[in-house]
Structure 1
Amino acid sequence: MGIRSGAVAAVVTGVWLAVTGAAGAQPRIDPGAIQPARVLPRTALAVRTLVPGVGRGTDNETEERAALSIAKLYMADYALRHGDGSAEDRDLGERMIRRSDDAAANRIAAKYPYAIDAIAKEYSLRATHGAGGWELSTTSVADVADFLAAKLRAEPDSPILAWMEQPSDKASDGTRQDWGTARLPLVYGTKWGWADVGPPEVASVSFGPGFTVAAHTYGTPEQQTEDVLGAWSPLTAREAPKR
Structure 2
Amino acid sequence: MERDAEVVMGTRAGAVAAVVAGVWMAVAGAACAQPGFDPGIPPSVHVPPRTALSVRTLVPGAGWGTDNETEERGALSIAKLFMADFALRHGDGSAEDRELGERMVCKSDDAAADRIAAKYPYAIDAIAQEYGLRATHGGGGWELSTTSVADVADFLAAKLRDEPDSLILAWMEQPSERASDGTRQDWGTARLPQVYGTKWGWSDVGPPEVASVSFGPGFTVAAHTYGTSEQQTEDVLGAWSAVTAPMAPKH
- Could you tell me the TM-score, scaled by structure 1's length? 0.86
Q: CA RMSD in A?
A: 2.2
Kindly indicate whether the alpha-carbon contact (under 8 Å) linking 2:14 and 2:217 is maintained by their aligned counterparts in 1: no
The offset of 1:232, in angstroms, is 2.1
Kindly indicate whether the alpha-carbon contact (under 8 Å) linking 2:79 and 2:142 is maintained by their aligned counterparts in 1: yes
**CA–CA distance in 2 between the matches of 1:56 and 1:225?**
19
- Please tell me whether residue 142 in structure 1 is matched to residue 150 in structure 2: yes
Aligned partner of 1:90 in structure 2 is: 98
Aligned partner of 2:46 in structure 1 is: 38
- The 3 A distance-change label for structure 1 pair 205 and 8 is closer
Aligned partner of 1:115 in structure 2 is: 123
Q: What is the SS of the residue equivalent to 1:229?
A: helix
Aligned partner of 1:175 in structure 2 is: 183
Kindly indicate whether the alpha-carbon contact (under 8 Å) linking 2:197 and 2:215 is maintained by their aligned counterparts in 1: yes
Greater helix share, structure number: 2
- Please tell me whether residue 53 in structure 1 is matched to residue 74 in structure 2: no
**CA–CA distance in 2 between the matches of 1:63 and 1:152?**
24
Aligned partner of 1:62 in structure 2 is: 70
Aligned partner of 1:76 in structure 2 is: 84
Q: What is the SS of the residue equivalent to 1:17?
A: helix
The offset of 1:16, in angstroms, is 3.6
**CA–CA distance in 1 between the matches of 2:164 and 2:244?**
32
Q: What is the SS of the residue equivalent to 1:215?
A: strand
Kindly indicate whether the alpha-carbon contact (under 8 Å) linking 1:31 and 1:48 is maintained by their aligned counterparts in 2: no
Aligned partner of 2:4 in structure 1 is: none
- Please tell me whether residue 126 in structure 1 is matched to residue 128 in structure 2: no
The C-alpha deviation readout for 1:13-35, integer Å capped at 9, x for no partner, is: xx8439xxxxxxxxx63433554
Q: What is the SS of the residue equivalent to 2:223?
A: strand
- Please tell me whether residue 29 in structure 1 is matched to residue 22 in structure 2: yes
**CA–CA distance in 2 between the matches of 1:156 and 1:149?**
10
Kindly indicate whether the alpha-carbon contact (under 8 Å) linking 1:201 and 1:219 is maintained by their aligned counterparts in 2: yes
**CA–CA distance in 2 between the matches of 1:100 and 1:154?**
24
Aligned partner of 2:223 in structure 1 is: 215
The offset of 1:235, in angstroms, is 8.5
Kindly indicate whether the alpha-carbon contact (under 8 Å) linking 1:35 and 1:231 is maintained by their aligned counterparts in 2: no
Kindly indicate whether the alpha-carbon contact (under 8 Å) linking 1:114 and 1:131 is maintained by their aligned counterparts in 2: no
The offset of 1:234, in angstroms, is 5.6
Q: What is the SS of the residue equivalent to 1:172?
A: coil
State the AA in 1 paired with 2:211: A
User: Which of 1 and 2 has greater Rg?
Assistant: 2
Kindly indicate whether the alpha-carbon contact (under 8 Å) linking 2:194 and 2:216 is maintained by their aligned counterparts in 1: yes
Kindly indicate whether the alpha-carbon contact (under 8 Å) linking 1:128 and 1:140 is maintained by their aligned counterparts in 2: yes
**CA–CA distance in 1 between the matches of 2:136 and 2:227?**
21
Q: Which runs of 5+ in 1 are unaligned?
A: 19-27, 238-243
The offset of 1:38, in angstroms, is 1.3
Kindly indicate whether the alpha-carbon contact (under 8 Å) linking 2:24 and 2:243 is maintained by their aligned counterparts in 1: no
